[in-house]
Amino acid sequence: MPANRASSSEPPVPVEERLFSLVLALLATETGLTKSQILSTVHGYSQRHEHGGQNASLERQFERDKDDIRELGIPIETIDSPDSPGDNRTARYRIPKGLYDLPSDITFSPEELSLLGLAATVWREGSLSTESRRALTKLRSFGIESQEWVIGYAPKLRVRDAAFEPLSVAVDRRQLARFGYLKPGEAAPRTRTVEPYAVVLHDGRWHLFGHDRDADDSRTFLLSRIVGDVELDAEGSFDDPGAGQAEKAIAGLDDVWRARTATLDVVRGSDADIRLTKRPGAERAGERLVVHYTDANVFADELTGFGPEVRVVEPASLADAVRARLLAVAEAHRTGEI
């Protein structure tokens, strides 16, 4: 086996690591690197490169990696050789550093850089979206590799909704998404065709914000109510809705959250008391607790789980929803269904 080839027992280089190495190499060169130079020297390619051998599969990998990096918003420039324009064997590749650098007036302290790296890692744990890959790659290119003071502390977001990943892809690629959506009180899900603009986390749950083509209006969908698979329409793209879609979605959900309050009687010292008093915006009103919520049905499910530790004083619609759930549980026990 040639010395430059990795042994069969050596684990393959992770995709992220290979892409990061390629970004660093293309940033470091002013004149650009040829494909041959990249494949023979850059970590992730050099282990599989054969000098004078067949490297067709490795070249195809490089072409895919170039596309992936460009999709992350990182510009790769191709410089043709003056002697043989259009020949990709002599073409050179580089990342124009001026287009990739942060603006000169933006600086970060070591602590801020560590927090940014941690935040990118947290988001990656949920699902490695285009935005998180872009942020993490850029941070690493600044030399942010380790955060000694936060080692051992890496919070994780566990994505429990199966719709999260395909909808994130649809947002990144601006593809139409089609899915069944079951609202409370409906007997069967209805198919929605949506231009997905952003997937956001609000009040502990994931939401999709976009333009509902059937309703011809903006809508926010709770991912946990999506039934079945999400279908992406490869031919059904839509125009860029512009920046700030995630912020717009969060602002709309915040407005709903602020407008909805519930007054509760909560048993002091109970699990319900401990959890509900820690909710953002929770306030004591004498012996009662006033809390905000976004979705009445979701909050009713949560309150039902506390059983006799909570009684809803108002609004009446929320009290009725919790009572109906408790009666359904009691009936299920009575009939032996659970």
What are 59-74's pLDDT values in tens digits?
888 888 888 888 777 8
- Answer with the residue of higher pLDDT: 304 or 126: 304
**Is the pLDDT reported for residue 296 higher than 50?**
yes
Length of the chain: 338
- Domains of the chain listed by start with CATH number: 15-100 (1.10.10), 110-150 (no CATH), 164-248 (2.30.30), 260-335 (no CATH)
Helix, strand, or coil here: 210? strand
DSSP state of 34: E
Q: Which of 25, 128, 144 is nearest to 71 (CA)?
A: 128
Round to whole Å and give the CA distance between 249 and 256.
11
The confidence band for 152, taking pLDDT boundaries of 50, 70 and 90, is: very low
The string of pLDDT tens digits covering residues 163-173 is: 888 998 888 88
Contact status, residue 286 vs residue 334, Cβ threshold 8 Å: no
Q: What is the DSSP string of 153-185?
A: ---------TTHHHHHHHHHHTEEEEEEE--TT
Enter the pTM of the model. Answer: 0.54
Angle between helix 15-28 and helix 130-141 axes, rounded to 10 deg: 50
Residue 181: pLDDT band (50, 70, 90) is very high
CA 95 to chain centre: 26
| CA–CA dist 111, 117 (Å, integer) | 10
Q: Are 321 and 300 in contact (CB under 8 A)?
A: yes
